[in-house]
């Protein structure tokens, strides 16, 4: 599978856990022999302005994180564009699902998901989209920006029991007819991460359900990294999801 990654994501750009030293390295170590890393360009201001006003972009610039945040959004765009031909994943940071139109929190600056979906929508390549956000935390930014758009469905599964959680995901994916299925893939709800709910195999299972739904709909699917903070298990969790999302017969180049 094509994984969009840039060496600048190794940079520790803030003191928050998403920017922690060693986090990207842990993921790269786990997946590098199984995937193809691909390059991409940062999101342009035109891309960002489809979602955020100039005032928000300027505020992020003043915080000194514009370059890395625009690069992350560019990775999401690249994964989105590839997704219409083959499943793909954006291994990016900072994350984005807590970024709203003109505010942000929770280690996020630009809404990578919204920027990527608006790029597909504005170029006429999709009519509808489904977002699965399996991060531990409710993706308020995704919902604030896209939740009232008639062309977008969003699922933030929420259950204290693992089987109930997985049932919600499975049922929603069985029902969607969207042209693209995009995953806000945060791994902080793993048994050994902050949320303590999901197994590594569950990420593989959800990835496979996403792939099957996209295939049934004749559409695309991609994931973009959100949270996930236990470096000891993060890499294998990302790998499991990628393996589920990829075509079963595909061999990595």
When asked if residue 135 is in the footprint of Zn ion (CB under 5 A), the reply is yes
Window of 28-36, 59-67, 142-150, 225-233 that interacts with Zn ion by CB under 5 A: 225-233
Angle at 23 between CA 17 and CA 69, to 5 degrees: 65
Q: Tell me the Ramachandran region of residue 34: left when phi exceeds 0, alpha when psi lies from -120 to 50, beta otherwise.
A: alpha
- Helix (H) or strand (E) holding 50, with range, is none
Q: Least separation, in Å, of the C-beta of 53 and Zn ion?
A: 25
Q: Which tokens belong to 28?
A: 């790269």
Binding characters for Zn ion, 167-196, by CB under 5 A (x = yes): -------------------x-x--------
* Helix, coil or strand: residue 211: helix
Q: Which of 68, 69, 117, 136 binds Zn ion (CB under 5 A)?
A: 136
Distance CA 44, CA 196 (A): 37
Q: Least separation, in Å, of the C-beta of 108 and Zn ion?
A: 10
When asked if residue 225 is in the footprint of Zn ion (CB under 5 A), the reply is no
Range 52-111, binding Zn ion (CB under 5 A): none
When asked if residue 240 is in the footprint of Zn ion (CB under 5 A), the reply is no
Q: Which tokens belong to 92?
A: 């990016």
Q: What is the DSSP letter of 98?
A: T
With CB atoms as reference, the residue minimizing the distance to Zn ion is 227
Residues that bind Zn ion (CB under 5 A): 135-137, 186, 188, 227
């Amino acid at each position: 599978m094509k994984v969009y990654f840039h060496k600048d994501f190794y940079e520790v750009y803030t003191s928050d856990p998403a920017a922690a030293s060693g986090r990207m390295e842990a993921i790269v170590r786990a997946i590098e022999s199984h995937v193809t890393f691909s390059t991409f360009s940062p999101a342009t201001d035109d891309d960002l302005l489809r979602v955020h006003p100039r005032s928000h972009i300027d505020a992020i610039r003043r915080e000194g994180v514009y370059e890395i945040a625009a690069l992350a959004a560019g990775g999401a765009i690249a994964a989105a564009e590839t997704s219409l031909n083959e499943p793909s994943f954006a291994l990016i940071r900072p994350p984005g699902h807590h970024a709203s139109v003109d505010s942000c929190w929770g280690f996020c600056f630009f809404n990578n998901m919204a920027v990527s979906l608006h790029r597909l929508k504005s170029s006429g390549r999709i009519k509808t989209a489904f977002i699965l956000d399996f991060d531990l935390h409710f993706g308020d930014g995704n919902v604030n920006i896209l939740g009232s758009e008639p062309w977008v469905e969003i699922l933030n599964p929420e259950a204290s029991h693992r089987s109930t959680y997985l049932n919600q995901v499975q049922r929603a994916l069985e029902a969607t007819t969207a042209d693209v299925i995009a995953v806000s893939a945060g791994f902080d709800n793993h048994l050994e991460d902050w949320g303590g709910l999901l197994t590594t195999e569950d990420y593989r299972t959800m990835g496979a359900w996403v792939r099957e739904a996209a295939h049934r709909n004749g559409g695309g699917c991609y994931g973009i990294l959100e949270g996930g903070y236990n470096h000891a298990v993060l890499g294998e969790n990302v790998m499991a999801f990628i393996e589920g999302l990829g075509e079963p017969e595909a061999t990595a180049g």
